[in-house]
Amino acid sequence: MDIPSIIRMLKEPPTDSLIIAVFIFVTIWLFKEIRSTHQKRISDELIRCEKNLTIYTKVFRSICKYQNSEIDYNEMSQQLEQLPSMCSKTVYETYLKLEKGRNGEVLAELKVNIENEMNFHKSQQNNELSYWVKSDSVHDNIANFIKKSPLRSFLWPIIYTFIFLLATILMIALFISFERLNTVGQIFYMFYLLGGTLLIIIFMFALEYIMFNKINRKKLFYSIMFVLVAIIAITIKYRPPFGGIVFLAVSAVYEYLLVKLNVIKKS
């Protein structure tokens, strides 16, 4: 094939087969990149869990020794000093209470909080189904199965890839329709674009909250999500001109409720 033939081919409109081929190539490349990032994140998280578990274990042991009068308070304090740089907000607040005044009840509370953190980090560290402890919570069982099943390295990247491609297609469709509208219509479409982008980000974070056990008040979280999805479904069905403003409003209210009602874990 000579150069003029190649130039003529490039000037011609792309065929359906070429579009499909490019779409498949982009999808595979995107999935590969997302999966690589996801696996690195999991690996980093496991390393962090191992380090934290080691520190929590040493601190827990020192508290037990102090309570059994095997060491004095100063020796225990040397171990406690490791907490502020790596501990959760709950443990940190209890640690500050203890530093303000020696109190046996506060120390017992700190010991319980550290034990909870040890159990949590150990559950994160054990990522095989053989270590999966069944829970009475349907949410916990589903999340644990997905996180600890052999499909975990594929399922999460597939979900992210699908959401990203869906967002891209929707934005392209919006931009195509944008040019055909008058000024008022373009303004409403801009709201749709901003609101839709925020909702996509919200759903991606919601999936992360579920998968990585970051929900503090599960019933409230799912109630808020149900109302959010219901409002979005109604808005999409009737497609009012101000639908984008509705998307922006529910996104803002959603984030406000999560923070105000302490729905998501702060640690």
Assess whether 72 and 119 both reside in one domain: yes
What are the structure tokens assigned to 157, written together? 């990247």
Residues 6+ away with beta carbon under 8 Å from 11: none
Q: Last residue of a domain, which of 125, 154, 181?
A: 125
- Put residue 102 in one of left, alpha, beta given phi > 0 → left and psi -120 to 50 → alpha: beta
pLDDT at 135 over 80: no
Mean pLDDT over 62-72 rounds to: 89
- In the chain, the number of structural domains is 2
Residue type, 46: L
Q: Report pLDDT for 128.
A: 46
Q: Is 14 left (phi over 0), alpha (psi -120 to 50) or beta?
A: beta
Distance CA 189, CA 243 (A): 9
Residue scoring higher pLDDT (218 or 185):
218
Is 24 among the domain residues?
A: no
Is residue 50 in a domain?
Answer: yes
Rounded-to-integer distance, Cα 186 and Cα 257, Å: 31
* Residue 18 counted as domain residue: no
DSSP H helical segments within the chain, as ranges?
Answer: 3-11, 16-67, 73-80, 89-100, 104-125, 138-148, 152-178, 183-211, 218-238, 243-260
pLDDT band at 20 (very low <50, low <70, confident <90, very high): confident
Share of the chain above pLDDT 90, in %: 5
Q: Is residue 164 part of a domain?
A: yes
- Does residue 60 lie within any of the structural domains? yes
Q: Looking at the structure, do residues 173 and 248 belong to the same domain, yes or no?
A: yes
Same-domain status, 114 and 151:
no
Residue with tokens 């949590």: 120
Looking at the structure, tell me whether residues 153 and 253 fall in a common domain.
yes
Domain boundary among 125, 157, 189: 125
In this structure, the answer to whether residues 194 and 256 fall within a common structural domain is yes
Asked if the structure places residue 133 within a domain, the reply is no
Residues 246/196, Cβ–Cβ less than 8 Å:
no
3-state secondary structure of 265: coil
- Token reading at 66: 């102090």
114/154 same-domain check:
no
For 98, the token pair is: 């203890």
My answer on whether 148 and 256 are in the same domain is: yes
Residue 7 resides in a domain: no
CA 91, 96, 99, 100 dihedral sign is negative
Asked whether the whole model's pTM tops 0.75, one would answer: no
Average pLDDT, the chain: 77
Domain boundary among 125, 157, 183: 125
Q: How far apart are CA 244 and CA 235, in angstroms?
A: 9
Do 66 and 121 have their domain in common? yes
Domain of 193 in residue numbering reads as: 144-260
Rounded Cα–Cα distance for residues 267 and 46 (Å): 16
pLDDT value at residue 29:
82
Flag whether 85 is in a domain.
yes
Residues 114, 158: one domain?
Answer: no
Please state, as a whole number, how many other Cβ atoms lie within 10 Å of the Cβ of residue 75: 12
